[in-house]
């Protein structure tokens, strides 16, 4: 019968460092699923549309960087092994989104945000603090965060040029996955955050979206 492997604190720190590098270094995260955009035809976007779509995809890429950091921070401080395992699994699934967004950004002739290391560090700290408070709060934070991501994705889908089917296919699949993560976190016992807390999270997310659209 398989047994859970136990890691020392140093082992866990090394694993976190490896996860950070795989998140932040270009093309270092290998997706488990191919990009949904692969099967879609290329579109002739004018310079303005291409720049706008690249900005939207850059926001989503940074959002996935934050998600990776959040999950890794929570996994580091989670109290129950099953919660830690769930956080690590969610982080693995988000790697797909990270890789898909980066690939699309490069196809549009642009680059990921230079602010990603800053947002990774901030999100990791928030995730670690949530895990220290309680696993229920940690899972609730996942659900609330994924709800915020779904709202951003809906807004971005509305803004995409109709002919850009590659970006649309990517964001639509991300939308499905993020909603599933939110539902799973609540079903696992996550706390439903009150409206004022969600409002504060919305304000913080606007800081990220405004800053990473161009930088």
Query: For residue 56, what are the CA distances in angstroms to 120, 123, 210?
Result: 18, 20, 10
Residue 52 counted as an annotated binding residue: no
Residue 44 counted as an annotated binding residue: no
First to last CA, the chain: 50
Residue 146 counted as an annotated binding residue: yes
Residue 102 counted as an annotated binding residue: no
> Which position has the token pair 């408070």?
133
Residue 163 counted as an annotated binding residue: no
Residue 64 counted as an annotated binding residue: yes
d(C-alpha 127, C-alpha 123), whole Å: 6
> Which position has the token pair 């991501």?
149
CA dihedral 98, 103, 109, 112 (to 10 degrees): 20
- Which distant-in-sequence residues (6+ apart) come within 8 Å of 61 by Cβ? 98, 101, 102, 105, 112, 113, 116
What residues are designated binding site for Fe cation?
A: 64, 94, 97, 146, 178, 181
What residues are designated binding site?
A: 64, 94, 97, 146, 178, 181
């Amino acid at each position: 019968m398989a047994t859970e492997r136990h890691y020392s604190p140093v082992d866990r720190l090394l694993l976190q460092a490896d996860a950070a590098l795989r998140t932040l270094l270009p093309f270092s995260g290998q997706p488990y699923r191919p990009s949904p955009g692969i099967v879609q035809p290329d579109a002739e976007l004018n310079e303005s549309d291409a720049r706008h779509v690249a900005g939207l995809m850059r926001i989503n890429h940074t959002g996935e960087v934050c998600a990776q950091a959040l999950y890794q921070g929570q996994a580091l401080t989670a109290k129950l092994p099953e919660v830690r395992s769930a956080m690590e699994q969610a982080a693995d699934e988000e790697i797909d989104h990270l890789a898909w967004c980066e690939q699309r950004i490069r196809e549009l002739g642009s680059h990921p945000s230079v602010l990603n290391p800053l947002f990774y560090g901030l999100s990791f700290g928030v995730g670690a603090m949530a895990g220290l408070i309680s696993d229920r709060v940690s899972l609730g934070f996942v659900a609330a965060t994924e709800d915020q991501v779904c709202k951003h994705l809906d807004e971005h889908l509305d803004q995409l040029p109709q002919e850009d089917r590659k970006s649309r296919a990517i964001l639509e699949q991300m939308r499905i996955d993020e909603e599933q993560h939110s539902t799973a976190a609540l079903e696992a016992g996550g706390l439903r955050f009150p409206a004022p807390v969600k409002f504060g999270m919305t304000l913080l997310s606007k800081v990220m979206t405004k800053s990473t659209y161009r930088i």
